[in-house]
Amino acid sequence: MKLPIFIADAFTARAFRGNPAAVCLIENKLDEDLHQQIAREMNLSETAFIRKLHPSDNFTEKNVNSTLTFVTLSGELKARRAEDDIVLDFPLYPAHPQDFHEVEDLIKTAIGDTLVQDIRYSPDTRKLLVRLSDTYDRSFLENLKVNTGNLLQVENTGKVKGLILTLKGQPGGQTQAFDFYSRYFAPWVGVAEDPVTGSAHTVLSSYWSQELGKKEMRAFQCSCRGGELKVSLRPGGRVDLRGGAAVVVEGTLTA
């Protein structure tokens, strides 16, 4: 069996940055074991298998700017082209104030005595948002050593499945201005640090929109690969996450 396969770097316009994902085009359903074997072979945090639900579907240049709906294990995902970018339509998840003492051990294990300005928790996504002090800058967040190895040993009772570290943005000056920065860690689901995380920005967008009084924002995830997102809050509790994509591998998988 030969299957078309691509590796695309998302939320970037440059190869070898952003979030790498494998995309495998299939005509018919595959066994779940084969899905897992292909994903392990790709050795990436995301491997997507795309199949037409209706044989008449025709994704050509004629409708490349229309909205495509993907039925996923996490629900429907809508995507559309906007100039050279891809726009993903996500729900917006609120984050509520979190008592520091309830998560003190987790935070101390992860970042030691780093100064914390605010802590929020999103019950919908089970993500803990930790805002670092405004006295820090982007380079501090980028260079911060986060101890993910010991987080699984901290008593958690399954409440937290993802840790977001975030920082208020700074004026542009000679560099591009961003409204906020972030990093994301999820060792509870096997991801020490994710390069760029769409789901984390469904929480970050809600939080920073309230903090900054803005519905249009620019965000940068400060992983070693780095990724840029444009955020647009919409009525009805939705958010558009917009970013570039660079295809770096195009080939055929033999299974």
CA gyration radius for the chain? 19
Both 104 and 204 in one domain: the answer is: yes
Of the pLDDT bands very low, low, confident and very high (cuts 50, 70, 90), residue 172 is low
Neighbours of 107 (CB within 10 A): 19
143 part of a folded domain: yes
pTM for the full predicted model: 0.91
DSSP code of residue 98: -
Model confidence at 185: pLDDT above 70: yes
Contact call for residues 121 and 99 (beta carbons, < 8 A): no
The two counts, helices (H) then strands (E), for the chain are: 4, 16
The answer, yes or no, to whether residue 42 has pLDDT greater than 80, is yes
Q: Are residues 230 and 142 in the same domain?
A: yes
Mean pLDDT of 68-77: 79
Number of domains in the chain: 2
Average pLDDT of span 88-98:
96
Helices (H), 80-219: 100-111, 138-143, 198-212
Selection from 195, 173, 171, 172 nearest residue 182 by Cα: 195
Q: Are residues 164 and 196 in contact, defined by beta-carbon separation less than 8 angstroms?
A: no
Angle at 110 between CA 205 and CA 196, to 5 degrees: 40
- Indicate if the pLDDT at residue 73 is higher than 80: no
Note whether residue 82 is domain-resident. no
166 and 133 belong to one structural domain: yes
pLDDT category of residue 133 using cuts at 50, 70 and 90? very high
| 130 and 250 assigned to the same domain | no
Q: Is residue 107's pLDDT more than 80? A: yes
Nearest to 117 by CA among 93, 141, 152: 141
* C-alpha dist (Å) from residue 148 to 57, 106, 192: 43, 10, 6
Residue 120 and residue 238 in one domain: yes
Q: At 231, which CATH number?
A: 3.10.310.10
Confidence class of residue 170 from pLDDT cuts 50, 70 and 90? confident
User: 118 and 15, same structural domain?
Assistant: no
Same domain, 16 and 67: yes
Q: Domain of 102? A: 96-243
* Nearest one of 2, 13, 11 to 221, comparing CA atoms: 11
Both 250 and 227 in one domain: the answer is no
Active site residues: 46
The pLDDT confidence band at residue 175, using thresholds 50, 70 and 90, is low
Min mean pLDDT across 40-49, 72-81, 138-147, 223-232 is at: 72-81
Instruction: Decide if 88 is inside a domain.
Output: no
* Look-up of token digits 């729900």: 91
When the pLDDT of each residue in the chain is averaged and rounded to a whole number, the result is 92
Same domain? 117 vs 174: yes
Q: Is the dihedral of CA 205, 207, 209, 215 positive or negative?
A: positive
pLDDT tens digits, 217-233:
999 999 999 999 999 99
> Lowest-pLDDT range, 27-31, 56-60, 143-147, 234-238?
56-60
Same domain, 234 and 250: no
